[in-house]
Amino acid sequence: MNDFVLWATLVVLPVFLLYPIFAKIRRRGRTDRPDGLYTISEPEHAKNVIFEIVAVHGLGAHPEYTWTSGPARSTNSDHGKRVHLLRDLLKDDFPNARILAFAHNSDWLIDAPVTSAQQLGDRLLDDLVKHRSRHRCVPIVFIGHSFGGIIIKETLCKPGDAARDVVDSTCGIVFLGTPHQGSPISSLGTVVARMTGFLGSSTGLLFTLASYRTQLSDLDIVPLDSARGGHAAQTVVIDTDHSGLNKCRRRNDPLYKNLRKQLHKIRPATTPTLNCNQRFVRDTLRTVEGAAFNSRANEHVATCLRNTRHELLETINQWTDGPIAREHIYWLQGKAGTGKSTIARTVAGDLAEQDRLAASFFFKRNESDRGSADYLFTTIAAQLVQRLPMMAEHMRNAIETNPDIATMALGEQFRKLILQPMKAVPHGISRTMTVVIDALDECEGDQNTTAVIKLLLQNSLSAVVPLKFFVTSRFEPPIRLGFQDVEDKFIEFPIHEIQRPIIERDIATFLRFRLDEIQRNFQIKSIWPNLTQFENLLGKSIPLFIFAATACRFIEDYRQGGDGPDDRLQQILQQETRGHLDQTYLPTLNQMVHGLMPSARRTAISDFNQIVGSIVTLANPLRPAPLARLLGISTERIKNRLELLHSVLDIPTDATSPVRIFHESFRDFLIRPDPEDVHEFFIDEKVTHKKLADRCLQLLSEDDYLKKDICGLGAPGKSRTTVDQQTIDRCLPSEAQYACLYWVHHLKSSRVILNDESHALQFLRSHFLHWLEALSLMGRISESIRLIDVLQGLVGDDCNSALCDFLHDARRFTLQNVYIAGIAPLQLYCSGLAFAPTQSVIKGTFLSEMPKRIQRRPAVIDSWSSDLQTLEGHSYSVCSVAFSPDGQTVASGSDDNTIKLWDAKTGKELQTLKGHSNSVYSVAFSPDSQTVASGSLGNTIKLWDAKTGKELQTLKGHSDSVYSVAFSPDSQTVASGSLGNTIKLWDTKTGKELYGLEGYSRYLRYMAFSPDSQTVASGSLDKTIKLWDAKTGKELQTPEGYSRYLRYMAFSPDSQTVASGSDDNTIKLWDAKT
C-alpha cells in the first residue's frame, strides 16, 4: 500500500505540477498574440507625431489582455464592453503620440525561469533601434508595469551608442508598481528577481533621463521604498491590487486621472528639440539658405494641383515606396516650362508628410550658393541629421576630424558627411529615404554637375545606406555625360514625352481651377470664359504649364489695366507670335508700354533694361531698397517700373524679401531671343554685367563702406567672431556686401580685358586691404584667392603692366595671410604688412595703414620667395607628385599609403584617396584631368575619379613594386613599370591587361608615351632604353650608348624624337623611328 501511495505520488504530483505548464503552452500555440514592439495607434500623418509612448507589461501577462479592463458589474451601460488602456483611452487623450507596446513571453512557469530581464532589455533596445530607423526620432515616454519597469531600466542602462540615443530621447518614465529594490511580499517574486539578475536600480539613470524634462511618477503597489528605488520621486498611492494597476474602465477612474496627469507633465509640448550633436552639426556646417523645398524663399511657390499629374506622381510614389534597388536615382528630365520643379516640390512635400524625406536642395541660377554645388552635400547632411539623429555623433566626428570639410572636394563631402556616418549607425538604417534635388541644370560649372551625378551613382546597391535620389533637370550635355554608361542604375523619365491627351487633361484641369478662382475673386456673374475662349487658351498652353500659369497671373493682375479679366484674356488670345516663350511673356511686357508716347516708351524700355536686366543677371537676388542703392536710383522708381510685372516676377509685399524671377524661362526669353525676331525687351548680358561691375566699384569707392576697421574692432588681435551679425549688416549693408562678393563675377561675365586704365586697378590701389577685411567679416575671405585668380585671367597680354604686378603681389600677400585674416581681420594691417617683403607692392601701397605703435619692424626679405605654398597633410614621406593637365589640381603619393589631391591655386586639401596597402611611389593624371593613376609598392595600380575620389579600377598582375605609371595621350591606356623588370599596358575602361613587355635585366624606372599614343619609351637601371609599339606590345628599338644610369626621358611633340638624360652628365636625342 505504501508502495502504491509512493508510486501514485511520484506520478500524480508531477502531472499535477506540470499540467498547468503544458496547458499554457497549448493555449499559447492556439492564441494569436503579438510579439516584440508593435504599434497600438498613431496620428494619420507622421509629421504630427510629437512623442512616443512605449508601454511594457509585467510577468505572467498576455500582451493585449494585460492592458484591458472588463466591464464594470455595477454599470449596465458598460455591459459587454472591454476597455484597452492604451488603445481606447490614451489614444484619444494624446492624439499627437505614437503609442507602442512591447510584448514578451513572461509566464511565471514557462518563461521566467529561463529568460532574464537583461535578455528582454536587449530585445527591447534592438526593436527600438529598428523602429527609430524607420521613423523620425521623437521623444519617448516609457510606461512600465511591474516587471516591465525592470526591462525598461535594463534597456536604458546598456552601453553603446544605441542605448545612448534612446536615453537622450527619453523625457520620462511612469513606473506602475515596479519593485526597484526587489519585492519582499512574495518569496516567489524574490526568486524571480534573483533569476532575472535584478539587483536594484541605477541611481545615475533616473537623473540621466532629462533630455527634455525629467518627472518620475511611481504608483504604489509594492513597498514604498522599493517603488521609489531610493530616489525622491513623486509617489501616487492608488487603492487597487497588482493586476489592476494597468487597467482602467473609464476616464474618470482615479488611476487613469493620475496617469494622464503625470503623462501631461512629462510629455514634450512641442516638436522635439535637437540633441547636442545635431545642434553642433547644424551650427558648424555651412548650408545654403532657401535651398530646402519648404524654405521661406519657396513659401508661395505652387505644388501640383489635385487630380493633375496623377499617373506620373503615382509612378514616382511606387519608386519611392519600393525597396532600395539598382535604380536608386529617378531622373525627371524635360524642356523648360514643363513643370519639373512643381513636380519636385510635390514629391518632396508628399515624402515629408510620410516622414520619408531625407533632404531637399532646389538649385536656382544666379542666386549665389543656390546656383552652385559647393555646399550641396553640407546642406543635405545638415537636413539629414535632423531626420536621423543616430547619425549626429558620427557626423560630428567627421566635422571635428576635418574642420575644413565644407571647402573640400564634393567627393570628400559626400563620403565623410553622408555615406560614412550612415554606414556607422549601429544596426544600420532600415528605413529607405529619398533626397530631392531640383533643377540640377542650374548648377554652375559643367564639371560640378557631372561630378554630383557620379557621386549619387556611387550609392548603387547599398542596403547599408538606403538613400534614393529624385533629380530633375533639363536635358543638358553635362548631365547626360554624368549618366552615360550606367543605364542600369537610374530611371529616366522625359516629361515632355507624356502623351498629349494626358498633358491636355492636366493643363485643362489647372486652367479651370485658376479661372474659376479668378471668376470668384472678380465676381464675374456670367459664364466665363466661354467654351471657345477656354479651348483657345488651352491650345496656346499645351505643352507648357508655365504658359498657363503666367497667363493666369496676367489675367488676374488688376494692375495691368484694361476692362477686367476678360479684356486681359483677349489680349493673350490675340497675341500672334512664333515661339512659346514669346506667347508666354510678350502680353505682359507689351502691356507695360501700351499707349505710351515714343519718348515715354523709350524711357520705359531703358528703365526695363536697367532694372529688370539687373534682376535677371544679379549673382544673388536683392530686396528693392538695396537694389535701388546698388543701381543708384530711387526705390520708388523701381517699385513703379515693377508694378506691371507681377505675372513674370516674384515681387514681395514686404521689405525683407528679394525680387526674383517667377520662372527660369523668363531669363531665357530676355537674354536668348529668337535671332530672327529680336524683341525690344532684349537684355544684352555682357553690357548689363559691365554696368553692374562699374556700379559695384563705384559704390565701394565713393561711399564710406570700405575703410580700415570697418566694424570698430579696435584691437588687431580681436576675433571676427566677436562681431555680431547685426553690426556687420549695419556697417556693410546688403548692397555693399553684394558689391564686395560679386564685382569680380560681373567683370568676368562682361568679358572685358583689364589694363592699367581700368577702374579695377584704381579700386584695388585704394581699397584692396579694406576689401579683404570686408570679406573676412562676412566669413568669405577664403574666396579671395580665387577672385584674384579670375582678375589675373582678365588682364591683357602686357605682363609688365602695373595691374599685372599688383595682382601678382596681391595673390602672394593673400596666400600668406588668408588664414590669420580669417580669424582676426585687422592682422592684415599688422602682421600682414609687417612681414611682407620690403619690395612688396601691397606693402608699399598700404604702409600708411600699419599701426603707428609698431615702431620696430621685423627684418624681412626683399621680394617674395619662390616658395608659393607648403602643402601639409601626409603623415609620412611624399614619394611622387603630379599636376593635372588643366593646372587645377596637384596629386601627391606618400609612404602613408594614400594619395592626396590639392587645389593648385589655394593649396587646400581636396580629398584623400585611400585603398593602397603600401607606399604610393607614382601618380599621374589622365590628359583630360578626370582620372588619377597610382602605382604602389603593393604591386598594384589603382585608377581614381579625380572629381569624386571614387576608386574606378584596381589593376593586378605585377609581381613586384610599381615605380612608374603613365597615361597615353588618348587616355585609353595606362602603362606601368615595375621592379620586376616588366612593363604592362592596361585598358583604362575595363582594367584588362593588354600586354606585358619584358626584356630588361635591371629595375625599370622611367616611362613615357609618345603624343600620338603609338609608342612607349622605357628606361631601366640596366642603362638601356627600349621603344615599344603601344598597340601590339612589340619591341621596336633598343638604342644603346649610355655608361651610367638613366634618369629621365621624354618625346618631342611630333612623336619623332626621344630625349633622355643620364648620370653620365649627357642628354641624348634619338630618332624614334630608326
- CA torsion, ordered 553, 554, 560, 562, to nearest 10 deg: -120
Return the pLDDT at 169: 81
Distance CA 817, CA 833 (A): 10
Nearest to 219 by CA among 173, 177, 263: 177
Which residues have a Cβ under 8 Å from the Cβ of 1051 and sit 6 or more positions away? 1008, 1009, 1010, 1011, 1015, 1017, 1057, 1058, 1059, 1072
- Residue position matching grid coordinates 595691374: 803
Q: Are 322 and 401 in contact (CB under 8 A)?
A: no
Return the pLDDT at 223: 41
Q: Which of 13-22, 361-370, 372-381 has the highest mean predicted lDDT (pLDDT)?
A: 372-381
Distance CA 351, CA 292 (A): 13
Give, as one character, the DSSP assignment of residue 323: P
Return the pLDDT at 101: 94
Distance CA 454, CA 928 (A): 17
Least confident of 387-401, 747-761, 816-830: 387-401
* H helices present in 733-878, as ranges: 734-750, 759-777, 784-794, 802-823, 831-834, 841-846
Higher local confidence (pLDDT), 558 or 520: 520
Domain 878-1071 sits in CATH at 2.130.10.10
pLDDT at 190 over 80: no
Q: Are 325 and 394 in contact (CB under 8 A)?
A: no
Q: Are 1003 and 979 in contact (CB under 8 A)?
A: yes
Query: For 724, left (φ over 0), alpha (ψ -120 to 50), or beta?
Result: beta
In terms of DSSP bridges, do strands 51-56 and 97-103 run parallel, antiparallel, or are they unpaired? parallel
Q: Tell me: the pLDDT tens digits for 239-265?
A: 455 566 778 888 888 888 888 888 888
Q: What is the mean pLDDT of residues 779-792?
A: 93
The total of other beta-carbon atoms located within 10 Å of residue 885's CB is 15
Q: Are 731 and 711 in contact (CB under 8 A)?
A: yes
Distance CA 691, CA 280 (A): 42
Q: Are 1025 and 1018 in contact (CB under 8 A)?
A: yes
Query: What superfamily in CATH does domain 32-266 come from?
Result: Alpha/Beta hydrolase fold, catalytic domain (3.40.50.1820)
| Rounded percentage of the chain residues whose pLDDT exceeds 70 | 84
pLDDT at 99 over 50: yes
Q: Are 151 and 182 in contact (CB under 8 A)?
A: no
Q: Tell me: the pLDDT tens digits for 498-529?
A: 988 999 999 999 999 999 999 999 888 888 99
- Residue position matching grid coordinates 506540470: 18
Distance CA 984, CA 963 (A): 12
Single-letter residue type at 698: Q
CA distances from 416 to 58, 280, 394, 406 (A): 44, 16, 9, 11
The total of other beta-carbon atoms located within 10 Å of residue 14's CB is 10
SS3 content of the chain, % helix, strand, coil (to 5): 45, 20, 40
Distance CA 329, CA 434 (A): 9
| Rounded percentage of the chain residues whose pLDDT exceeds 90 | 39
Q: Tell me: the pLDDT tens digits for 567-580?
A: 889 888 887 766 67
Measure the N-to-C terminal CA separation of the chain; round to a whole number of Å. 121
Q: Are 158 and 123 in contact (CB under 8 A)?
A: no
pLDDT band, residue 764 (cuts 50/70/90)? very high
Return the pLDDT at 227: 37
Q: Tell me: the pLDDT tens digits for 655-712?
A: 788 998 888 888 988 987 666 667 889 999 999 999 999 999 999 998 789 999 999 9
Domain with residues 276-496, CATH architecture:
3-Layer(aba) Sandwich (3.40)
Return the pLDDT at 947: 87
Q: Tell me: the pLDDT tens digits for 898-913?
A: 999 998 888 888 899 9
Higher local confidence (pLDDT), 13 or 582: 582
- How high does pLDDT run on average in the chain? 83
Q: Is it true that 32-266 and 276-496 share their CATH fold? A: yes
pLDDT band, residue 218 (cuts 50/70/90)? very low
Nearest to 929 by CA among 447, 413, 453: 447
* H helices present in 903-1033, as ranges: none
Q: What is the mean pLDDT of residues 597-605?
A: 91
* Three-state DSSP string of 441-496: HHCCCHHHHHHHHHHHHCCCCCCCCCEEEEEEECCCHHHHHHHCCCHHHEEEEEHH
Query: For 307, left (φ over 0), alpha (ψ -120 to 50), or beta?
Result: left
Return the pLDDT at 206: 33
pLDDT band, residue 226 (cuts 50/70/90)? very low
C-alpha grid cell for residue 582? 514669346
Nearest to 1038 by CA among 1050, 1028, 1026: 1026
Q: Are 1034 and 989 in contact (CB under 8 A)?
A: no
Distance CA 652, CA 661 (A): 11
pLDDT band, residue 191 (cuts 50/70/90)? very low
Give, as one character, the DSSP assignment of residue 71: P
pLDDT at 781 over 60: yes
What are the boundaries of each domain within the chain?
1-29, 32-266, 276-496, 501-684, 687-849, 878-1071
C-alpha grid cell for residue 482? 554624368
Let me know how many helices (H) and strands (E) the chain has, helices first: 35, 35
Q: Tell me: the pLDDT tens digits for 1010-1034?
A: 888 888 888 776 677 888 888 888 8
Q: What is the mean pLDDT of residues 807-836?
A: 94
pLDDT at 73 over 60: no
Return the pLDDT at 1034: 86
Nearest to 954 by CA among 933, 937, 983: 933
Nearest to 1007 by CA among 935, 902, 920, 907: 935
Least confident of 12-16, 51-55, 748-752: 12-16
Q: Is the pTM of this model over 0.85?
A: no
In terms of DSSP bridges, do strands 140-145 and 51-56 run parallel, antiparallel, or are they unpaired? parallel
C-alpha grid cell for residue 281? 552639426
In the three-class reduction of DSSP (H, G, I as helix; E, B as strand; rest coil), residue 846 is classed as helix
* Three-state DSSP string of 692-761: HHHHHHHHHHHCCCCCCCCCCCCCCCCCHHHCCHHHHHHHCCHHHHHHHHHHHHHHHHHCCCECCCCHHH
User: Which class for 520: exposed (0-12), middle (13-18), buried (19 or more C-beta within 10 A)?
Assistant: exposed
pLDDT at 794 over 90: yes
Q: Tell me: the pLDDT tens digits for 144-163?
A: 888 888 898 888 888 776 77
pLDDT band, residue 489 (cuts 50/70/90)? confident
Give, as one character, the DSSP assignment of residue 87: I
Chain CA centroid to CA 789, Å: 28
Q: Are 1019 and 1006 in contact (CB under 8 A)?
A: yes
Least confident of 1-15, 88-102, 537-551, 953-967: 1-15
Query: CA torsion sign, 175 to 180 to 184 to 189?
Result: positive
pLDDT at 1 over 90: no
Q: Are 646 and 553 in contact (CB under 8 A)?
A: yes
- Helix 598-617 and helix 685-702: axis angle, to 10°? 80
In sequence order, the β-bridge partners of residue 878 are 894
